[in-house]
Amino acid sequence: MDELDLLKKDWQSKNTSKEQQFSSKDIYPMLLKKSSSIVKTLYYISIAELVFWIVINSVPYFSSEKYREDIEAIYGNSATVLIITILSIAIVILFVYLLYKSYKSISVTDSAKQLMESILKTRKVIKYYVIYNLVVAFLSMAFGLYYTVYRNPDIAPQFAEFSDKQMLITLLIMILVIAAFVFVFWVIYQLIYGILLRRLNRNYNELKKLEA
């Protein structure tokens, strides 16, 4: 049982309004500190993830000519790849910036109502961030599947010899594989962000009790 839980237990055991008011003033700074720490952690995780994906996408692209040719073949040309890459990084940087704003907002807030609003904004940013990454993962693998089946000169001719039934079964298997990968990404995000968000939600619920 941590310090906050002990204070809550002590607060709930008191009956007079004076004692309750004193306990509320003690609990709020702890909720503020915990919420600020959680959002700060989310911010650092998002930066680490941004760096990770930049490295993962950049190293193979610049170190392997075959990989670069395949990527450019999927999207048409190198200019399209560059535009998509810059746009994707810009969107992730935007989410990182919004998380940073949430962290700064929570760090300087001086009322329970403002803290609750900041927590709600943080939850929305993380929600849309996870949805965006899952959609991007799905679309990237779908484009890769399309290129492999219909445009890859090394593999497409083999698929061209398939019957309609064989092609349908193959596509269904590939779709299931893509769905499985997206599900794995979702589980990872639930483990990384979900745990922290649940703690943030718990702080939000405690703030609602203080406001009641």
Tokens 């590939």 sit on residue: 174
What would the pLDDT profile of 176-196 be if each residue is shown by its tens digit?
A: 988 998 899 899 888 888 888
46-73 per-residue burial string, b: 16 or more CB within 10 A, e: under 16:
beebeeeeeeebeeebeeeeeeeebbbe
CB atoms within 10 A of CB 101: 16
Q: Residue 8: what pLDDT? A: 54
Dihedral of alpha carbons 159, 174, 68, 82, sign:
positive
| CA pair distance 198, 200, nearest whole angstrom | 5
| CA pair distance 115, 38, nearest whole angstrom | 13
CB atoms within 10 A of CB 139: 10
| CA pair distance 175, 141, nearest whole angstrom | 9
Q: Which of 20, 43, 22, 10 is nearest to 192 (CA)?
A: 43
Chain centroid to Cα 76, Å, comes to: 29
**Per-10-residue mean pLDDT, the chain, length 212:** 54 48 66 87 88 80 74 70 81 89 81 83 89 87 78 76 83 89 89 88 82 64
Tokens 């779709």 sit on residue: 175
Contacts of 25 (CB under 8 A, 6+ apart): none
| CA pair distance 153, 121, nearest whole angstrom | 48
What would the pLDDT profile of 140-158 be if each residue is shown by its tens digit?
A: 888 878 777 777 777 778 8
Q: Residue 89: what pLDDT? A: 84
User: Coil, strand, or helix at residue 187?
Assistant: helix
DSSP code, position 190: I
What residue segments make up the domains of the chain, in order of their start? 27-211
Beta strand spans in 14-129 (E): none
CB atoms within 10 A of CB 204: 19
DSSP code, position 161: T
